[in-house]
Amino acid sequence: MIIDGKVISQSLKDAMKIEVDALAEQYGRRPCLMVIIVGDNPASRSYVRGKIKATEYCGFDGHLVELPEDVSEATLLAEIDKLNNDPLVDGILVQLPLPKHISEDKVIAAISAEKDVDGFHPENVARLWLNQHCILPCTPKGIIELLDQAGVEMAGKKAVVIGRSNIVGKPVAKLLLDRNATVTIAHSRTKDLAAVCREADILVAAVGRAKMVTAEYVKPGAAVIDVGINRTEDGKLVGDVDYEAVLPVAGAITPVPGGVGPMTITMLMRNTIECFLNRMNNK
């Protein structure tokens, strides 16, 4: 079974569009997402375009704040502070990576935790690990949604996550644990990675190495979630999984593009609605 992130994403966005119209009626305004981009990095520009397009599609308010590559850290922090204090702004996102002269840690911590639609703020990260109410990071949240939508049972299953980054590997592992999977986190120092992965009923690859997961990594019938985004020499977008080789072995698999990627943006929209509702109901 191919888990089509594009189709799932579209139906979730269609439902949110209707929900947002109803929220506008009920609360007298629409959820508002502000996206900040610094500089002209083409990949960041392309991600931001996708986010703004989805924002418009779902009927949110908000817009893009564009700052030049050489903007000072102080100016960026002041911009964030302004948005933190704006009662009509529900979500703030600063597109990463930032230029070297700006501390990403400082910027992430400067965004008010209640408007942190990316779920990267230390308070949200801590709350996730403490099982407290929090804003979940978008890619891990999208992966769990994909597994749910594909009808993949997580409870009691063995899951292996390759990668231990703060934005993907570790939070995905935590969310799988919360769904009662038994989770192994693998990384660059894991011995005999293929044998570790072959144990998995659910295999999540979040490495950033083209086609590294071959058929010998996959237990027949396993669900394989490919988070990786890599470019081949001829410019083609591929994941961490050798899709053609793994497709006949896997029970379910996400393609790249069209798997986890669209879900990340859709979960950003979901998080914006959740931030809006938290703020409106805490008034």
Longest alpha-carbon distance in the chain: 57
Catalytic site residue from 61, 95, 174, 211: 95
Write down the least CB distance from residue 146 to ligand NDP, Å.
11
Q: How far is the CB of 270 from ligand NDP (least distance, A)?
A: 14
Count residues contacting ligand NDP (CB under 6 A)?
25
Nearer CB in complex with ligand NDP: 55/139: 139
* Shortest distance in whole angstroms from residue 147 CB to ligand NDP: 15
Task: Write phi, then psi, for 225 (nearest 5 degrees).
Answer: -110, 120
The C-alpha angle with vertex 97 and arms to 8 and 40, in degrees rounded to 5, equals 95
Radius of gyration of the chain (CA): 19
Between 135 and 162, CB nearer to ligand NDP: 162
Give the tokens for residue 262: 């669209």
Residue number, 107 or 168, with CB nearest to ligand NDP: 168
In eight-state DSSP terms, residue 217 is: G
Q: Which range binds ligand NDP by CB under 6 A, 38-46, 52-60, 123-131, 226-234?
A: 226-234
Cα–Cα distance, 262 to 243 (Å, whole number): 18
CB of 264 to ligand NDP, least distance (A): 3
Nearest Cα to Cα of residue 124 among 154, 102, 92, 95: 92
User: Which of 149, 190 has the CB closer to ligand NDP?
Assistant: 190
CA distance linking residue 229 with residue 2, whole number of Å: 18
Q: How far apart are CA 212 and CA 228, in angstroms?
A: 10
- CB 222, min distance to ligand NDP, A: 17
Given the residues 61, 90, 116, 118, the one annotated as active site: 118
Task: State in angstroms the smallest separation of the CB of 39 from ligand NDP.
Answer: 18
- 118 classed as catalytic: yes
Residue 23 or 203 with smaller CB distance to ligand NDP? 203
Should residue 260 be labelled a site residue for ligand NDP when binding is judged by CB under 6 A?
Answer: yes
Residues 6+ apart with CB under 8 A from 191: none
Residues 261-280 that bind ligand NDP (CB under 6 A): 261, 264
145-152 LR contacts (CB < 8 Å, sep 24+) = 145/8, 145/12, 145/263, 145/267, 146/3, 146/5, 146/8, 146/225, 146/254, 146/259, 146/260, 146/263, 147/202, 147/223, 147/225, 149/3, 149/8, 150/1, 150/3, 150/223, 150/252, 152/202, 152/223, 152/252
Interface of this chain with ligand NDP, residues 156 to 215, rule: CB under 6 A = 162-165, 167-169, 186-190, 193, 206-209
Question: Which residues inside 125-144 make contact with ligand NDP, applying CB under 6 A?
Answer: 139
Active site residue 95: yes
Q: Which of 51, 115, 141, 211 is catalytic?
A: 51
**Residues with catalytic roles:** 51, 95, 118
**Footprint on this chain of ligand NDP (rule: CB under 6 A):** 139, 162-165, 167-169, 186-190, 193, 206-209, 227-230, 260-261, 264
